[in-house]
Amino acid sequence: MDRSTDQPMRIRKRDQATYRMGAVRRTAANFTKLALSALLGIGLLVTGSAPAYADAIWDRWKAADAAVSSGNPAAAVPHWEFLADHYVSAGDWESAALFSGKLNQYFDGIGDYEKAIAYYERENEYWLKDGKDWGAVDLQRAEQIRTTVEAYISTADTEALRQRALPVSGKLSKFEPEYGMYIGMYTERDPKMLNYYDRSESFYGKKHALYLAYTQVGKPFPKQYAQRAKQAGAGLQIAWEPMNGLDAVTDEVVRAWAREAKAAGIPIFLRYASEMNGNWVPWHGDPDTYIRNFRMVHDIMEQEAPNVAMVWSPGDVPMYSMDAYYPGDDYVDWVGVSLYSEPYENGDPKQGNMQATSPVERLDYLYRTYAERKPLMISETAVSHYANIPQESFTEYGTLNLQRLYGIMPYKYPRLKAITYFNVNLEMKESKNNYLLRDNDAMYSLYRKLIEPPFYLTNIENAAKPPKPSGQVPLTAGVAIYKRALITPFVKIPDIYIGKIEYAVNGRLVQTQTSPPYGIELKAGDVPEGSVLELGIYNHAGKKAATRSFPITSGISVSIDGKDVDFEQPPVIREGNTLAPVRAIFEAMGAKVDWNAAAKTATATKGGTTVSIAIGSGEAYKNGKPVKLEMPAQLVNGATLVPARFVGEAFGGVVGWDGETRTVTIRMDGKSAAAFPGEAVKVTAASAVSTLTPSASERSANGAPSRTAVWFGWFKDQLGRLADLWGRLV
């Protein structure tokens, strides 16, 4: 096996801290809380403005204790609530946190998760006000039991994708993509790939943008890794670790290393002295020294190695201690994080069950804090599909969270622009989890599928972007399906595992899924304007755990000779007519378009044909002869829109209509176009109705929806909308 640098410390360090840190801190915090609770009675006797009021507080305390002792904790709840509120008003945050803790434990135990979440969040808030970070574990538990149902929809709207992915300043960092996400991998302990990076495409279906290597300060620059990355057309992420302490990181040492980095001739993400917020690394404990040292490394790299981007990369825990180590915006190009998903802490059921924790929410704090200014990367991550100590397979856990990692997080967090997967089976050492994708067929095939879209970038460059529009945005009102779109749900329920997800459009079930990857493709013709998509979420027991409805609609597309036309102002429907923007279509046909603002007239010329159209006129002119329009030309958002049939035929095109994708087809090459549902490109109630599969009773003899069924379906939709409107009015 190729080992030209030291093996990574990552898992060894994280064994002692990352998930275990939660358990250790929880145990320590709970022990201290118990001690504080024992002393709380003394505080109760001296709290308040008068002895009588102190007695009332003490009475509440005793009543709550008596209820718990008698096996009736529900009777203690009103007293705990009173006491928590009292200590908040008194500014006694320690006592307020303790009583909030009693309440969240009670509500969590009886399955009243909404109230439990509220008190977990309050407990965290009060501990912070008391100067302690003990509430981090409360936030973790709150996220474990929070029901989440979100949805994301694919789009080819490049500008929408760009705007979501830009920093507030609008200025991109070194090697930062405009939008999209670099894919990376640590391969050294993948027995088939090792560090032969040019094998990636044959194994994983796609080359990766960067590969991860580890080395220590004071050791030679990892030339062999760099050479192999260059051969594969990739960059490196280098974890550079000062194992002899920050004092050993001198100007001379850094400068010599920087010159070697420049000579490598590839993009390098330098993850220097990472996970500094954890006490398992020798560079932890002195934020001021760390910051001075990081800045020195940055300055030398800036002088000597312009191909190096500096990555400041804490661990995802301890959460609240990382900010003290931030070197400042001027010294950081990217903000990274290490986070891993595994069913048991260190693969050991005795150390704690982590199945309820997903990778998604664990990025939230870092994202809220830094994403407005810096691009984020998950510097190293993996999802376990097998716990080696109990020899227990977790394929469902693995696929569920692998999809969340790659199929949800880049869209939920659009400033997340790189993920590096730690592709290792750690067997019975270190974290004792198997993250190796090839060891599980479902994980392996899912990973290949997830990174297949062009959104996942394979080449590092400044302002990189996908070779063609690709990405997803939150499914909200106003986001329309053009032709077809993939809708991906992010679902999290307290039961952890999902039995099935049902997808219904306008009350009609269209698909059911029982395993990851979750998601549904809808065609524009399936979704009349003003439709509703409803997700029904069930647990393994078959009980509905959650439901959520999303407004969903579709738009009209136009293709010329099979190529889609891009619009700033897409076609619209007015009084059943499809109106198309003349400039975009005429220019796509090769015509020259001029606009006379005074006359509000668009004129297009191609060859010997001239067409002019005035806003508000029911006639257009072709070579001076009037042509009646089905509807007057209109100005919409600064664009001239005209009935689509006229636009398509003005320069000799053959116009048709694809109802499945709601696409106006124009053929300029003499080939026939799809037939229209009528004499004009017109959307009527019948043609707008969903084409989703009807029931057997709604089919004609040949299996197609009958005309009566189509009209009946449309009529049912209208009745439903009227009933909804009436319900709102009354």
The residues that are catalytic are 275, 380
Quick check: bond before 220 cis, omega within 30?
Answer: no
CB 534 within 8 A of CB 504: yes
CB 482 within 8 A of CB 529: no
CA distances from 351 to 113, 389, 648 (A): 24, 11, 68
How many other C-beta atoms lie within 10 A of the C-beta of residue 344?
Answer: 24
The span from the CA of 352 to the CA of 562, in Å, is: 56
CB 215 within 8 A of CB 5: yes
Q: Which of 140, 181, 117, 121 minimizes the C-alpha distance to 316?
A: 140
User: Which 3 state secondary structure label does DSSP give 438?
Assistant: helix
Token output for 418:
């790189």
CA distances from 255 to 212, 217, 297 (A): 22, 12, 8
Q: Which of 503, 475, 407, 409 minimizes the C-alpha distance to 150?
A: 475
CA distances from 136 to 32, 113, 236, 417, 525 (A): 15, 18, 33, 26, 47
CB 141 within 8 A of CB 487: no
DSSP labels for 53-85?
Answer: HHHHHHHHHHHHHHHHHTT-GGGGHHHHHHHHH
Look at phi and psi of residue 170 and say left if phi exceeds 0, alpha if psi is from -120 to 50, else beta: left
Look at phi and psi of residue 421 and say left if phi exceeds 0, alpha if psi is from -120 to 50, else beta: beta
